[in-house]
Amino acid sequence: MMDLQSIRREYLQGHLRRSELNPDPLQQFSLWLEQAIDMQLEDPTAMVVATVGASGQPSQRIVLLKSVDERGFIFYTNYESRKARELDDNPKVSLHFPWTRIERQVLVGGIVEKIEPTVSASYFQSRPRESQLGAWASQQSRKVASRDALMEQFTQAQGKFDGQEIPAPAFWGGYRVVPTEMEFWQGGAHRMHDRFHYTLDAHGLWQIARLAP
């Protein structure tokens, strides 16, 4: 048996103080994201997306954040995938950015909305051609007989769009996560981590509270 109980380390890279926080959590997030990118973290835009379907069973997966602004966080997916079907049942979603190398985490709770089809189409055209073909070839989250069968679907998509611009599929597009709460976590010595929780009040203003680690 592996000895997992002894695997631990101290978190000593920094701290987070209330006076350092931007009153707008989306601007605070943008600052931390820029720092993560500048520090050349691996996959700084990778985030865990957690959804809950009709059965009440949560599920998670890692996707890439593709845009963030004052309205929220945007990612793209197949609208027939498991995550999309679960979001149809329950539009509440949780995001988690695990920047472990710099001992930081950001958690986001919010509601999803589909973005404008023109925005999805514009982003789709910016993707590498192979990724565009993959979107057409993969019936995401559906059972597939084998790797060979999956690649045959990709080959068929190649033939279908040979020499043509590839349009965005109607079953593919973006979601915007509109945040209702956000938490910023900075590791601290002796497990005395710094945690700050933003929540929206009845007037649509962000309130900030420190949480115990």
Please give the distance of CA 1 from its chain centroid, rounded to a whole number.
34
Within 8 A by CB and 6+ apart from 41, the residues are 99, 101, 102
Please check if 83 is assigned to a binding site.
yes
Please check if 105 is assigned to a binding site.
yes
Please check if 193 is assigned to a binding site.
yes
Q: What number of other Cβ atoms are within 10 A of residue 33's Cβ?
A: 18
Please check if 131 is assigned to a binding site.
yes
Please check if 140 is assigned to a binding site.
yes
Please check if 123 is assigned to a binding site.
yes
Residue 152, SS3?
helix
Please check if 64 is assigned to a binding site.
yes
Catalytic, 104? Answer no
Catalytic annotation, pick one of 18, 129, 142, 191: 191
Please check if 85 is assigned to a binding site.
no
Please check if 125 is assigned to a binding site.
no
d(CA 108, CA 181): 6
Which of 25, 125, 21 is closest to 71 using CA atoms? 25
Please check if 192 is assigned to a binding site.
yes
Q: What's the chain's Rg over C-alpha atoms?
A: 20
**Phi and psi (nearest 5°) for 98?**
-100, 80
Please check if 92 is assigned to a binding site.
no
Please check if 61 is assigned to a binding site.
yes
The tokens of 128 are what? 């590498």
Note whether 208 and 28 are within 8 A (CB). Answer: no
Within 8 A by CB and 6+ apart from 139, the residues are 78, 80, 153
Q: Which residues are annotated as a binding site?
A: 8-11, 61-66, 76-77, 82-83, 105, 123, 127, 131, 140-141, 185, 191-193, 195
Residues assigned a catalytic role:
191
Annotated binding site for FMN: 61-66, 76-77, 82-83, 105, 140-141, 185, 195
For the annotated binding site for substrate, the residues are: 8-11, 66, 123, 127, 131, 191-193
